[in-house]
Amino acid sequence: MRINLTVNGQVHEIETKPGDSLLKVLRAQGNFGVKHGCESGECGACTVLLDSKPVNACVFLAAQAQGHRIETIEAVGEHPEQGWKHTSGLHALQESFVESGAIQCGYCTPAMILAAKELLDHYPEPTEAQVRDVLSGILCRCTGYLKPVQAVMRAAALMRGEQVEPLEGVIPVPPDFFGEPPSFSDQIPQSDSGTPAGREVLVPTRLMPRIQVTPEAESWQRVGKPEKKVDAVKLVQGKPAFTADFDKRDMLIAKVLHSPHAHARIKHIDVEKARDLEGVAAVLTWQDIPRVVYSTAGQSDPIPGPLDSFSLDKKVRFVGDRVAMVAAETEQIALQALELIEVEYELLPSVLDSAEALKPGAPILHDETEYVNFAESDPSRNLAAEVRIDIGDVELGFSEADLVFEDEYEVPKVQQAHIEPHVAITFWDEDDRLVIRTSTQVPFHARRQLAPVLGLPIKRIRVIKPRIGGGFGNKQEVLIEDVPAHLTIATGRPVIYEYSREEEFIASRSRHPMRIRMKTGVKKDGTITANEMYALSDTGAYGCHALTVTGNTGHKSMALYVGDGKYRVSPNIRFYADIVYTNHPPSGAYRGYGVPQGFWAVERHMEKIARELELDPIEFRLKNSIREGELQPFSTAWSEGREPRPETIETCGLEECVRQGRAAIGWDQKFGVSGWRQVPGQPHLRKGLGVALVMQGTAIPYLDMGGASIKMNDDGSFNLLVGATDLGTGSDTVLAQMAAEVLGVPVDDIIIYSSDTDFTPFDKGAYASSTTYISGAAVIKAAESVSLRIRQRAARMFNESEEHPPVNQEDIRLVDRQAISPDGRTISHSEIAHETLHHADQEQIMGVGSYMSPVAPPPFAAQFAEVTVDVETGQVVVDNLVMAVDSGVIVNPLTASGQIEGGMTQALGYAVCEEMVYDSDGRAREKDLRDYHIFQAHEMPGLTTIFVETFEPSHPFGVKAVAEIPLDGVAPAVGNAVFDACRVNIDDNPITPEKVWREIMKIDEGQG
Ligand code: FES
Ligand code: FES
């Protein structure tokens, strides 16, 4: 059918099908700013304005839009950078989103701007509650909404013609600023009424983190400054920056048939009818492609885990496992073809409980002969990996304790829920090389790992990573690229495969659920004498990241509390883990990489011990926690894929984090104060405070490597090529800042590009909180070699004049786009570039750097939570989260604080509502973003971030990791706050109203 659509003021006559969504049609017309995040109106990424009202284009039929005015992000603001055109520039909202750091991956940004625009068109003076309300229809998994809300408020002020304060980025405070709680507590965002459910909102938000500035950073021009994200302008304009924002003539659509059974053998599969369907280009089953065993975990070589996966297999091991793949001219035909595939299954007994899976006689998932063991894996026992670490003499430590505390804890399977689904496009280029354009965190690992699977040499594969709409570890998996690649190989045509939201839930990866047993020996004075953890971890049907995620669970969380006195010198720590196969969908990497699971158990356990011994929970923790100058106790016992080597903690700002955080949350005025616990006039409500101390790692020592190259251009600008992958974190920006600092130029003179396996140097990819540290060090090395050459050429140019004393290159400074001699003469970068490229002894000034770290300096943090519990219903409302973080020097406080806010928000879901549940047949309960609830803008507590800077000596700019640590402490801090409020211990998160209510009932009935 032909319809007329008026899009951004232009009428288009479009051929469409009756069932086509407006989303599909708009994107087909090139309006790539309209994003796909689901198919059922839940995420809001597809928001457009229809007659000035926001609608979800994915659930709106294109035909219904005839006769209406449609506005997409492409019509908002103008684009002053486009050649000779001089226009008025970005809309105030776009400007404000850019300046305020409201963009991380940017996938939700066009929708947010459109929704906010509609609000401001009608309400030029909105309240924060109104802004949050209008943004509540658009899910953002990255930001925690704080900065987007502030960006809208700021834009509203700008549009009203008001003066707004310039964003200087940081609030530098003297070290004792937060040390005066009474004067500061008035400024703390307070919850309004404490009404648990459906409160209208809201607490004031703050745009900027508070930060203690490291003295070393004070002289820097670019590092430590809130520079705008280098990709922000294109993202606020909805430019076609993401994987799927790309068209290729004759592109086929891929779909996969997923298993309806948890465990079955494929006895017979008949695809003839599907192949005969008009418009179907290929149907592939396990019989049609090479049988190559591999691991989908995107990790360095050798993969630290078993090889147990096939692109297609004759056996299925979970509901959602692959059965067949199809490529067709349209999505509809592809889906129709899936229905025509006839499969005869031989059902096998399944095992869904990790303890059952280890028992003799349990159904065995991996009986294939091709299985390749890694270390202790044993498929005949459903054991994907095991960890056995003993440090010191644990039994002696227990025998020396006055009391031994034992308890069990449980953590659920949860989803990364990035808004951009997994998506990959494959095609042959003109040299018959396979191009894979994919939303991946690990382009170089993907190329290496896919080569044998596809039967192509590495040199015939090119992986391109465009902008990524969030990944959070789920794209550290070579998860779907093989599907379109096999289909391109089979058909010779370009193929796109994009997960639906349901596929994200049933057939991607998730956080490992675990049962964790803790045993801790303690003296009466609170000295920990021995600490033991056993984790039973469910890797699901495949062992991707099985060993490394669960290894990290103990490696980080059990390293924090070493004990005091002689135990501090020689701690007694045991960490054992079994990582088992079950017929659940596979677990994998999720931001925090095993550590949030560990800290749920450790920090709930520490709280119980402190309460039982009537010790101050903070003092008890600090008495036993690791300190600067001490050995990371696990460093000599365990390392990912390499020999362990001793590592000393060079910097630890944990005590200062505690001091700042407790002041910011008002701990001393509230904790243990019975009057504060009560909410006046609401006897069913109780308030509580909780704390958790946490540590993470920075990169993987002696293993992961990053590379960078820098080339100088005629005008003194630089191309910086990195293999590192910015998945929305802002890593491209901080890498550009470091290069700019070394080269003495503004950040916009650094044209950064990441990543393309044909052009950019190798990098292990974005994981393990390593990009700023590892890839950053590589960038600095490359920049320093360019700087050296610039200074050498500048010295030569200075010395052409005989009127001045000779200049040595080492005395030349690079500042403000110029080389400055000791006597104050200057030569601009562009003059040097012209000289070297065109005039004398021509050369291309270029530098290459690569870096691998011998250490993994841990960031530390103190996480505080304030909650209100309704003791009649069990409802928990988190009112405030305060996180004080030692991540070393903060290269960009704007992007780093966004990481903390977004991370805390994800962790808040882990604390109170996120959970993936399966029925007894292994079928998922949560298949969409309605059933799987992630926090929305109007539900947020107050978020406060404080950076306590230390200078990590192993990095030129003193940095440590930021990205993962905010996932670690929120859940236990909330759990501890719930105990503080109503004296119930919830040992298995999420802390749902039902669990709290049941525990309260037990107390009321005298069982608690
Ligand atoms: S609401 Fe339309 S894509 Fe999610
Ligand atoms: S910035 Fe909102 S989803 Fe990434």
d(CA 548, CA 550) in angstroms, rounded, equals 6
Max CA distance (Å), the chain: 95
The per-residue pLDDT for range 200-258, each reduced to its tens digit, is 333 344 556 667 777 878 889 999 999 999 999 999 999 999 999 999 999 999 999 99
Q: Which atom of ligand 1 is nearest to the CA of 42?
A: 1
Name the residue of 25, 27, 40, 928 whose CB sits within 8 Å of the most ligand 1 atoms, as the mutation to test its pocket: 40
d(CA 798, CA 807) in angstroms, rounded, equals 7
- Which H or E element spans position 751? strand 750-753
Q: Output the six-digit token pair for 616.
A: 């101050």
Write down the pLDDT at residue 163: 83
Judge if the beta carbon of residue 905 lies within 6 A of ligand 2. no
Distance (Å) from CA 137 to ligand 2 centroid: 13
Q: pTM of the full predicted structure?
A: 0.94
Judge if the beta carbon of residue 106 lies within 6 A of ligand 2. yes
Round the average pLDDT of the chain to a whole number and report it: 92
Q: Which atom of ligand 2 is nearest to the CA of 419?
A: 3
Roughly what angle, to the nearest 10 degrees, separates helices 146-159 and 92-100?
140
Distance (Å) from CA 104 to ligand 1 centroid: 19
Judge if the beta carbon of residue 108 lies within 6 A of ligand 2. yes
Cβ atoms < 10 Å from Cβ of 944: 28
Judge if the beta carbon of residue 501 lies within 6 A of ligand 1. no
844-882 per-residue burial string, b: 16 or more CB within 10 A, e: under 16: ebebbbbbbbebbbbbbbbbbbbbbbbbeebbbbbbbbb
Nearest to 732 by CA among 783, 775, 767: 775
Q: CA angle, corner 722, sides to 717 and 726, nearest 5? A: 105
> Which residues on neighbouring strands pair with residue 860, listed in sequence order?
695, 886
Nearest to 649 by CA among 939, 960, 341: 960
Name the residue of 109, 147, 591, 729 whose CB sits within 8 Å of the most ligand 2 atoms, as the mutation to test its pocket: 109
Name the closest-CA residue to atom 3, ligand 2. 140
Write down the pLDDT at residue 687: 97
Judge if the beta carbon of residue 43 lies within 6 A of ligand 1. yes
Distance (Å) from CA 419 to ligand 2 centroid: 7
The per-residue pLDDT for range 527-546, each reduced to its tens digit, is 999 999 999 999 999 999 99
d(CA 936, CA 137) in angstroms, rounded, equals 8
Judge if the beta carbon of residue 114 lies within 6 A of ligand 2. no
d(CA 896, CA 902) in angstroms, rounded, equals 10
Judge if the beta carbon of residue 391 lies within 6 A of ligand 2. no
Distance (Å) from CA 31 to ligand 1 centroid: 15
For CA atoms 546, 504, 326, 246, give the dihedral sign: negative
Using an 8 Å Cβ cutoff, are 956 and 779 in contact?
Answer: no
Distance (Å) from CA 136 to ligand 1 centroid: 13
Judge if the beta carbon of residue 46 lies within 6 A of ligand 1. yes
Write down the pLDDT at residue 1008: 56
Judge if the beta carbon of residue 107 lies within 6 A of ligand 2. yes
For CA atoms 134, 138, 141, 142, give the dihedral sign: negative
The per-residue pLDDT for range 647-662, each reduced to its tens digit, is 899 999 999 999 999 9
Distance (Å) from CA 474 to ligand 2 centroid: 15
Write down the pLDDT at residue 204: 40
Distance (Å) from CA 331 to ligand 1 centroid: 17
Q: What residue ranges of the chain have pLDDT lower than 50?
A: 179-205
Judge if the beta carbon of residue 144 lies within 6 A of ligand 2. no
The per-residue pLDDT for range 403-439, each reduced to its tens digit, is 999 999 999 999 999 999 999 999 999 999 999 999 9
d(CA 547, CA 62) in angstroms, rounded, equals 48
Q: Which residues contact 529 (CB under 8 A, 6 or more apart)?
A: 397, 398, 400, 401, 521, 522, 523, 563, 567, 572
Distance (Å) from CA 57 to ligand 1 centroid: 7
Using an 8 Å Cβ cutoff, are 920 and 635 in contact?
Answer: no
d(CA 739, CA 749) in angstroms, rounded, equals 10
Name the residue of 34, 56, 60, 930 whose CB sits within 8 Å of the most ligand 1 atoms, as the mutation to test its pocket: 56
Rg of the chain on CA atoms, in Å:
28
Distance (Å) from CA 367 to ligand 1 centroid: 41
> Which residues on neighbouring strands pair with residue 109, listed in sequence order?
none
Q: Which amino acid is at 965?
A: I
Judge if the beta carbon of residue 487 lies within 6 A of ligand 2. no
Judge if the beta carbon of residue 750 lies within 6 A of ligand 2. no
Judge if the beta carbon of residue 148 lies within 6 A of ligand 2. no
Name the closest-CA residue to atom 4, ligand 2. 105
Name the residue of 138, 419, 901 whose CB sits within 8 Å of the most ligand 2 atoms, as the mutation to test its pocket: 419
Distance (Å) from CA 9 to ligand 1 centroid: 23
Q: Which atom of ligand 2 is nearest to the CA of 469?
A: 4
The per-residue pLDDT for range 688-723, each reduced to its tens digit, is 999 999 999 887 777 788 999 999 999 999 999 999
Judge if the beta carbon of residue 418 lies within 6 A of ligand 2. no
Judge if the beta carbon of residue 33 lies within 6 A of ligand 1. no
Distance (Å) from CA 795 to ligand 2 centroid: 47
Of the listed ligands, the closest to the CA of 55 is: 1
Q: Output the six-digit token pair for 563.
A: 């004990």
